[in-house]
Chains A and B, each alone.
Chain A
Amino acid sequence: MSDVSRRKLIIGGVAATAGVASLGVAARMAQEYGLIPPDHGGLYGPGETLTYASQRVLTRHSLAREFPRSKISHPPLANEMPPLNDAYKRLQAGGFADWRVSVDGMVERPASFSLAQLKSYPSRKQTTMLQCEEGWSYIAEWIGVPLSHVLDVVGVRPQARYIVYTSIDPDWWDSIDMADAVHPQTFLAYGMNGDELPVGNGGPIRMRLPRQLGYKSVKFVTDLKVTDSLKGFGNGSAAAAPEGGSYAWYAGI
């Protein structure tokens, strides 16, 4: 064996060992710091995990871009959506006076909030872009209560890791991790462009997460569940599956 090939063999061996060891350490660290998404299994698991982990590290303290009010899109687009169910129509007939948003699961004080109660909390505004995975987008001023405030009211237990939120249509739901749940721009939004939130845009109340694509901003929210695990929710995708099959759980891209 020549010197060159022996040196190559040794370098290669050391590099391979270091590679395997660092992969193992990386996996442990990723688990520890919440860098593994719920849809980390299967064919596309590696790509999803890389995207989620790298963006979680990169966006730890980042804020979605905010725009001047002059950039608001007129008229605001109302996306196509499934027909509203009878429960919604009944509440709509009553001017949404009986609309409730319940918060339970791993919380100290489970609660059911009326819209008036939610509006009595300090309201915040953000002029941000809603960006659909299909490719279109619009900018609107969103008015609402930061989800973190609601979570403070109910008292989230320390072991909580995810929030599962459901629209009035029980088949339309999604979930986010705590990093997004307590992010200052994550709103339960009840107003838009200085007015009530229109029905077409999710009125009377919707989730709003400007750092993720539009499909995470579920409309007509009635129900939030705080949990430490997403097993038991749906088929393991951690979100309702639209016609085209499951979309990626993490929608930062």
Chain B
Amino acid sequence: MASLESVQVAAGASVPKSASAVPATTVTSRHSALVRVTHWITTLCFFALLVSGVEILISHPRFYWGETGNVLTTPLFKVPIPASRKLVPTGYGYVLPDQNGWSRYLHFQAAWVVMLTGLLYIISGFFTGHFRKNLLPSEADRSWRAFSTVIAKHLRFARPTEAEAWSYNVLQRLAYLLVIFVLFPLVIWTGLAMSPAFVSAVPATVNLLGGQQSARTIHFFVSAFLVLFLLVHVVMIFVAGFWSRMRAMITGRADTYTGRA
């Protein structure tokens, strides 16, 4: 099989020293080129979506449940921030500047890029066995004991072992699977459910969620979960060793990750 690995060996990726850590036949580089490229495009898009999403949010920082909602109806909750519209009673004595023009353009452009990137990643991930090999927890890990061991280690902020620099533990695998197969699809779905044109063609998109304002509220919470994931992700990278993790995701190399003797 002409696989990605052959390219990476040619590109000079080093082979890990410990044979037990890595099945040498399947991994010669920590992250494949496709994973690395899609990772950084997604990173860029995520920041664009976050900044523009917050800008759009401040024009109406109130959330509702059901089909409709406006300043005359009771909100599910309010985000306690000032707004960029006079219409919204926020309790603040000032109104922020309206930035929705570029924010909306940027939001949808970044949504397109991240969606197409995600599609490429998912299709190739199934094709190359990336999900099966790198993200699906191994059979040994599918137990509460394995799970609690990993959680205990995380709570101690223990640095990863050599094996873990080459492979994800069960908690990481589940977190990534959740982000890739639940949170991202959900945020795209709820985003589309807010599009009056899209739902005119596919009304179930919004009807299944209980209404357009419900879709907006779920979109907000899923985005919040994605931000939470990002924060934990970045903290864990610092715990594991910032430069070695960055090197692994930029160049694919992971051999010098802790500077251990």
Chain A positions near chain B (C-beta within 8 angstroms):
4, 7-8, 43-44, 46-48, 50-51, 55, 58-59, 62-65, 67, 71, 73, 75, 77, 79-80, 129, 131-139, 210-213, 241-248, 252-253
A-B contact count (CB 8 A): 141
Q: Which of B56, B87, B99 has the most chain A CB atoms inside 10 A of its CB?
A: B87
Q: Is the interface of B mostly helix, strand, loop or mixed?
A: helix
Is B102 a contact partner of A245 (Cβ separation < 8 A)? Answer: yes
A50, A132, A241: the one contacting B112 at CB < 8 Å is A50
Chain B positions near chain A (C-beta within 8 angstroms):
2, 6-7, 56-57, 59-60, 62, 67-73, 84-87, 97-102, 104-106, 108-113, 194-203, 206, 212-213, 216
Alpha-carbon distance A110/B261, docked complex (angstroms): 87
Q: Would you give the shortest CB distance from B210 to chain A, in whole angstroms?
A: 13
Is A253 a contact partner of B195 (Cβ separation < 8 A)? Answer: yes
Is A71 a contact partner of B67 (Cβ separation < 8 A)? Answer: yes
Supposing A137-B69, A248-B104 touch, asked if A253 and B198 sit within 8 A by C-beta, the answer is yes
Is B2 a contact partner of A135 (Cβ separation < 8 A)? Answer: no
CB nearest neighbor in A for B203 = A65
Q: Would you give the shortest CB distance from A7 to chain B, in whole angstroms?
A: 6
CB nearest neighbor in B for A11 = B2
Is A246 a contact partner of B112 (Cβ separation < 8 A)? Answer: no
Question: A79 contacts which chain B residues (CB < 8 A)?
Answer: 87
Is B212 a contact partner of A44 (Cβ separation < 8 A)? Answer: no
Supposing A134-B59, A244-B98 touch, asked if A47 and B201 sit within 8 A by C-beta, the answer is no
Q: Would you give the shortest CB distance from A74 to chain B, in whole angstroms?
A: 9
Is A129 a contact partner of B67 (Cβ separation < 8 A)? Answer: yes
Closest 7 CB pairs of A and B: A252-B197, A47-B109, A245-B101, A244-B98, A135-B60, A44-B105, A136-B70
CB nearest neighbor in A for B220 = A135
Is B67 a contact partner of A139 (Cβ separation < 8 A)? Answer: yes
Is B196 a contact partner of A64 (Cβ separation < 8 A)? Answer: yes
Q: Would you give the shortest CB distance from A11 to chain B, in whole angstroms?
A: 9
Question: B108 contacts which chain A residues (CB < 8 A)?
Answer: 47-48, 51, 248, 253
Is A134 a contact partner of B196 (Cβ separation < 8 A)? Answer: no
Alpha-carbon distance A58/B101, docked complex (angstroms): 25
CB nearest neighbor in B for A80 = B87
Is A55 a contact partner of B197 (Cβ separation < 8 A)? Answer: yes
Q: Would you give the shortest CB distance from B63 to chain A, in whole angstroms?
A: 8
Is B99 a contact partner of A244 (Cβ separation < 8 A)? Answer: yes
Is B72 a contact partner of A77 (Cβ separation < 8 A)? Answer: yes
B2, B100, B216: the one contacting A247 at CB < 8 Å is B100
Alpha-carbon distance A7/B161, docked complex (angstroms): 39
Alpha-carbon distance A2/B183, docked complex (angstroms): 42
Alpha-carbon distance A19/B59, docked complex (angstroms): 41
